[in-house]
Structure 1
Amino acid sequence: MKNTYRIIGDTVEILLRSKKYGNFLTNISLGDLEKVNQFKGSWYLWHREGDGYYVKGNINVNNKKTTIFLHRYIFDLPSVEIHIDHIDHNGLNNTRGNLREVNHFENSQNRTGAYSTSKSGQRGVAYSKLHDKYESYININYIKYSLGLFKTVEEASEMASIARAVFMTHATDDQNICIYYKEDKGSKLIFRHGVMGSGKTDNLLKLSHIYKRLKKNICLLTPHIDNRFGDGLIKSRSGWESKAEIIYPDTDVSSIITKSGSEVIFIDEVNFLTMNQIKQISYLLEFKKLKIYCYGLLKDFKNDFFASSLELLRCADQIQEIKSNCSYCENVASRILKIKNGTPVYKGDQVEIGAEDLYRSVCISHYHNPPSKDVG
């Protein structure tokens, strides 16, 4: 190639001179330098409004001048049916780690913002004049699914973003935003844990809502001991709620799941299940085509593991901590502090339902030394 370049570690910077736009730099991986250097002409900057900046060059094919993109040249892809996706949306970042082969549908997943014709200004959101609300939606395999109507564009946009993070494997921006919904490909048993107030139940209810809107047969389960909002009712602090099947200590969970005929299972407060029930779930997955989401606490206020949660750590395909800040500072909350009658409590029964006001989600420092305003 005729461009000036310099090697920086395992990447190469190539200078692109443009009278119209000025000088730009594009990056490639060092391993691709030999191939790119064989290019006989100059690489130049290409820009089109709404498409961003990319790198092009001219080659001769059968004595005919043909234009090719640098990212396609690196992958040696003549077929237009195969696309090369820039993961970070930067067409000047042509390093291997930022490029991936995709089909048309996968390529369309990884885009930013709404279409220019969108009246809401948000991707996956349309204003419904009839209902005076915002409709959230997602397109999967060219089928449009409505995710419901919401009062604000922000609520509708969040729902669409969550759905894309889960069901669009190449929606990079949404997966980076909705990190606590992103899944490992092929996971069948997912355990999401966090301290009190971290948003576990909110996660469960929003995700189960999306599955239901996508016409999936789902089943929600909750242990009988957690009846804070009524028997068989799962409710989050943000106001989301749903009825659920009740699990008792002697309940055969595998039997409930099998009878429901559901393909996606959501279990709240899984830390209150028995060890045998966790084993039933794990065993069932060996014979059924299911996806099971489990949500709950990992440890109690004594910083001891719940037995069922510990078992899930052993058998889950994906384990994810939903993080939140300490009640007293900006550090990550990693423990649950119990304060009763102005005194920190580190011993006693593991479970005390209906006493949420006694607990604080805190960092390790405030676990051992809570502020004086809460103790006396």
Structure 2
Amino acid sequence: MAKLYFYYSAMNAGKTTHLLQSSHNYRERGMKTLILSSSLDNRFGRGVVKSRIGIQSESIVFNQSENILDLVNQQAAVDCILVDEVQFLSKAQVYQLTEVVDKLNIPVLAYGLRTDFQGELFQGSQYLLAWADELRELKTICHTGKKATMVVRIDDNGKAIKSGAQIQIGGNERYVSVSRAEYKRIFHDEGSIKPSQISLPLEDI
């Protein structure tokens, strides 16, 4: 029986790497996968899903008003659907993913952030937490050594940005994954933080 899986984490936990590895596992066994990505995330170009360690794959791009069930029905038969950056989905699109599972009997692996820079749930993540069959946390580490569960948006001085649009595409230069305790410290102006994530893929090691 097909299921809807939600793999969630803070940033830099390897969500896209996990997605691409899962797709590879299916394809290695002669099965067809379909990778979907939001038009909002164009960091690596349109129709490209790329991990921080350098591996990538082509994807089919959808916008926020597109019907994902219709999009899947337009494709040739597939064995698994993988969706990157699902925090950008609307409530209706998450429901459409449940329809892909329940009506088409195709497993869906959805990957994304749980909360935004203010600690609030993204709409897509909210309904995946409510409706997914399986919830799986991908873990990463705060610079304090604790598990990182939150994301802080910072300015050029390493101070927390507390307001602004929920969706603002950026990478390690703008967002840092931290523990809840560290998030509160930075967000309440009790300190600052500099991005310390090294650039990947690594070269000349």
TM-score normalised per structure 2: 0.87
The residue type equivalent to 1:281 in the other structure is: L
Candidates 53, 59, 81, aligned match of 1:265: 81
Matches within 5 A, 1:195-344: 195-260=10-75, 261-326=77-142, 328-342=143-157, 343-344=159-160
| Unaligned stretches of 5+ residues in structure 1 | 1-185
Q: Which residue number corresponds to residue 168 of structure 2?
A: 352
| Unaligned stretches of 5+ residues in structure 2 | 196-205
Encode CA deviations 1:209-253: one digit per residue, 9 max, x unaligned.
111111111100000010100001000011110000001112111
Q: Which residue number corresponds to residue 180 of structure 2?
A: 364
**TM superposition outliers: structure 1 runs of 4+ over 6 Å:** none
The residue type equivalent to 1:272 in the other structure is: F
Q: Percent identity between the aligned chains?
A: 30
- Which structure shows the bigger proportion of residues in strand conformation? 1
* Helix, strand or coil at the partner of 1:286: helix
Greater displacement, 196-205 / 251-260: 251-260
CA displacement at 1:297 relative to structure 2: 0.5
Q: Which has the larger radius of gyration?
A: 1
CA displacement at 1:284 relative to structure 2: 2.9
The residue type equivalent to 1:332 in the other structure is: K
Residue 37 of structure 2 contacts residue 59 of structure 2 at CA under 8 Å; is this kept in 1?
yes
Encode CA deviations 1:73-95: one digit per residue, 9 max, x unaligned.
xxxxxxxxxxxxxxxxxxxxxxx
* Helix, strand or coil at the partner of 1:283: helix
CA displacement at 1:315 relative to structure 2: 1.1
* Helix, strand or coil at the partner of 1:190: strand
- Write the distance in 2 (CA, Å) between the matches of 1:279 and 1:373: 38
The residue type equivalent to 1:244 in the other structure is: S
* Helix, strand or coil at the partner of 2:97: helix
Computed over aligned residues only, the root mean square deviation of the Cα atoms, in angstroms, reads: 1.6
CA displacement at 1:312 relative to structure 2: 0.6
* CA shift in 2, pair 1:373/1:325, >3 Å: closer
* Helix, strand or coil at the partner of 1:204: helix
- Write the distance in 2 (CA, Å) between the matches of 1:333 and 1:276: 29
TM-score normalised per structure 1: 0.48
Aligned residue pairs total: 189
Ranked by relative contact order (alpha carbons within 8 Å, sequence separation 6 or more), the top structure is: 2
The residue type equivalent to 1:205 in the other structure is: L
CA displacement at 1:266 relative to structure 2: 0.3
